[in-house]
Chains A and B, each alone.
Chain A
Amino acid sequence: MIESEIWILIIASLVAISCASIGVFLVLRKMSMLGDAISHSVLFGIAAAFLLTSSRSTAVMLIGAGAVGLLTAYLASALNRYGKLQEDASIGVTFTWLFALGVILISAFADRVDLDQECVLYGEIAFAPLDTIEILGKDAGPRAVWMLGFVTLANLIFILMGYRNLKAISFDPVLASSLGINVALWHYLLMSFVSLTTVASFESVGAILVVAMLVVPANTAYLFARSLVGMLSWAIFLALLSAVTGFFLASYFEASISAAMAMMSGVFFVIALLSYHLKALKSVRPMSFPSAVR
């Protein structure tokens, strides 16, 4: 295995860990589509940040896209609350508009913007190892590894520190608020971390793998896990497994690595789904997960 392949696996694993862990809370809070929405609308953030500062620096991209990610979450809930528009439609209207704006910006300034909307959608992780940074004059490895390493660490710290509150708002927001937890604050904190994760993963692996890694391993784990800790660890494990197997699938078929990784997460989901149905056939009343956790 050559060096760049190892870097690719490391990058994919970091994406897997950060997306799957934060994705668990997204799924439990029934906001999976918000993950999809954010991963689309950050395109506008990246394009706008690039046009305003004409810099491709990581910090600028992260700030621009992170801001738009939060804007998406905020606009969607504002439309829902003040515009009296039902929740699913609020999300749909918000992110399609921002995504369209992003595509238009990129098309309009195609000669100035070194961005490719298709690349953004399905990513080109194969090139990520080529984009290296230097620290103190020495080659410090791919930029994506540093960025994603930082984000993964931030995510894990956030989840460890906020575990009790995140658990409460995920399973019973009403109870959480009666316990004195600021539900809105934690909602937006969670959304910030979803945006951060999406944005950091976005450039190197594309939106499609981000959405798949956010939602699919978490739902696979949801089918059989019996506790939140179990769901979290299974989701991370399955995401890592999808990343590794997907990598070999892609190199065998010479196809997009990101797409192959997403596909593998689908394979594990289907296996879990089949065993879920088998179990449901055997026992008439399967134990439902949320009640087991509480």
Chain B
Amino acid sequence: MLELFFEFWRLNDPNVVWVLTGSVLLGSSAGAIGCFAFLRKRSLTGDALAHAALPGVTTAFLLFHSRDPLVLGAGALVSCFIGYFVIEHLIKRTIVKEDSAFAIVLSLFFAVGIFQLTRIQKTGIASQAGLDKMLFGQAAGMVRDDVKILGAVALGLLLFVILSFRQLKSISFDRQFSQTTGLPVAFFEMLLALSLVLSVVIGLQLVGVVLMAAVLLTPAAAARYWTNNLAAMVLISGIFGGLAGAFGANVSYLAPRMPTGPWMVMGVSAVFLISLLFAPDRGLLARIKRQNRLSRKVHEENILRTMYKIGENAGDFSIPVDTGTLLSYRNMALQQMEAALRRLRRKGLVEISEGRFTLTASGLERAKEVTRFHRLWELYLSKRIQIAPDHVHDEAEEIEHILTPDLEALLLQELGSPIEDPHGRVIPKAAAAEGEHK
């Protein structure tokens, strides 16, 4: 097995080179084009169009009795286009919903294709062998000429994406705006559809009808986790698609019985899974981590503010409080509270002695700050937005953790350095400001 693996990557076998080139080019061009379908929330277009290609292939075969990829490709192109226009028509001109339009075209076109395929098989026309490979794809069945056509089309598609990137970007994000700027939107939508159709057609032999959807969709979905920039997304998606192509070709070489398409899809799905979990910023783990960090911060700040309130009521911030007292002021799970107190102690904001807690000097400053944010916001809501004072607390409860010193300065200016919040409690001043006052 390992021996074969190295044999593959030594690239001595010219067949390997052809198949590898074809798979990589197909994967990367479909990955790049797929991004635009993805952004327009038409990810399943690829699925519908790939199925719609089948009757074109079989009709072309029945008409010309030829397996020439150009003939079959032309047939596929025509029926894909018909399928595309039927979908557009159903969505735009009838009450049929988008998802139904896809499913209708997919199942009906495919049924016509299968109907003809079974007729071809029954009549036993000699050259039909291999036509059914279109369903699942077989890289081993590809010859040099197939790969040449595939490669030329794939390169053309990549060139198209690069050259008309600006226009494609514009119609993907804001169709109406593009129209007002005088961009021929309908024309570029047609070109985009044509390139989707073309990548489906060249993918048929390699990946097959059923899984072409994944080659168009999954790299784009994976790339989306890594970036917010369209150019970067198209690039990453193209690379992911190319990698998946190489993987599929490799497996197909190691185990010739294996169809290429499914392995290509497994490859790109693995990349998707990794992106979903580990991508920085948008990935699942990064988001969970961020959420946890935020909720820890919220717990800590809530405790600080509660301790400030207790001290304020008593008129003395140095009286130690226990968790029972804290709990009577703030509804919170005891475990969460204890964990938050431990973190506060590590940060030197809280001191502990005999199970009772006091704010340190820096803890008091921090508590004052949070309280100030809270009360300033309450005041702002009731003064400027004129929400009744008894309704402002919950809003402030959320905003106090997010306010920044810059916003605080703006609020202070806006409200004219106020003394009291709407409930008549003193808004604590920052240490520097306090000094100024005296």
Contacts and interface: CB of A to CB of B under 8 A. Distances in A.
A223 interface: yes
B214 interface: yes
Given A89-B38, A255-B122, A122 B259 contact: no
A93 B217 contact: yes
B18 interface: no
B94 A103 contact: no
Given A84-B282, A96-B217, A32 B43 contact: no
B218 A223 contact: no
Nearest to B111: A262
A31 B102 CA distance: 11
Contact of B115 (A79, A117, A260): A260
B74 interface: no
B265 interface: yes
B210 interface: yes
Interface in B37-63: 38, 41-44, 46-47
Most buried by B among A100, A118, A255: A100
Nearest to B208: A103
Given A84-B282, A208-B110, A216-B108, A93 B272 contact: yes
Interface in A111-136: 117-118, 121-122
Interface in A16-58: 27, 30-33, 35-36, 40
Contact of A33 (B103, B210, B257): B103
A223 B95 contact: yes
Contact of A266 (B108, B132, B136, B269): B108
B104 interface: yes
A256 B47 contact: no
A175 to B, nearest CB: 19
A256 B284 CA distance: 46
B116 A83 contact: no
B262 interface: yes
A82 B113 CA distance: 38
A258 B46 CA distance: 24
A152 to B, nearest CB: 20
B135 A121 contact: yes
A32 B99 contact: yes
B31 interface: no
Contacts of A259: 111-115, 118
Interface residues on chain A, size class: 35 or more
Nearest to A43: B210
A92 B41 contact: no
Contacts of A83: 276, 284
Given A88-B43, A121-B135, A93 B221 contact: yes
Nearest to A214: B103
A90 to B, nearest CB: 8
A231 to B, nearest CB: 12
* Main SS class of interface, A: helix
Contacts of A195: none
B162 interface: no
B99 A30 contact: yes
A36 B110 CA distance: 12
A36 B47 contact: yes
A234 interface: no
B218 A96 contact: yes
A48 B370 CA distance: 57
A258 B122 CA distance: 15
A107 interface: yes
Given A35-B103, A96-B218, A107 B118 contact: no
A211 interface: yes
A276 interface: yes
A250 B118 CA distance: 10
A146 B260 CA distance: 38
A212 B100 contact: no
A168 interface: no
Interface in A80-100: 82-86, 88-89, 91-93, 96-97, 99-100
Contacts of B282: 84
B41 A273 contact: no
Contacts of B265: 96-97, 99-100
Given A104-B258, A208-B107, A266-B111, A30 B97 contact: yes
Given A89-B43, A266-B111, A40 B210 contact: yes
B41 to A, nearest CB: 6
B106 interface: yes
Nearest to A211: B107
A266 to B, nearest CB: 4
A209 B111 contact: yes
16 contacts: A30-B97, A86-B43, A89-B221, A92-B218, A93-B221, A96-B265, A97-B269, A99-B262, A100-B211, A211-B106, A212-B107, A253-B119, A255-B119, A256-B115, A262-B111, A263-B115
- Please provide the 4 A-B residue pairs with the shortest distance between their CB atoms, ordered closest to farther: A262-B111, A96-B214, A100-B262, A100-B265
Interface of B: 38, 41-44, 46-47, 93-100, 102-104, 106-108, 110-119, 122, 132, 135-136, 210-211, 213-214, 217-218, 220-221, 224, 257-259, 261-263, 265-266, 269, 272, 276, 282, 284, 287
Given A36-B102, A122-B114, A262-B111, 11 more contacts: A27-B100, A36-B106, A88-B41, A88-B43, A89-B43, A104-B259, A104-B262, A104-B266, A223-B96, A269-B108, A289-B95
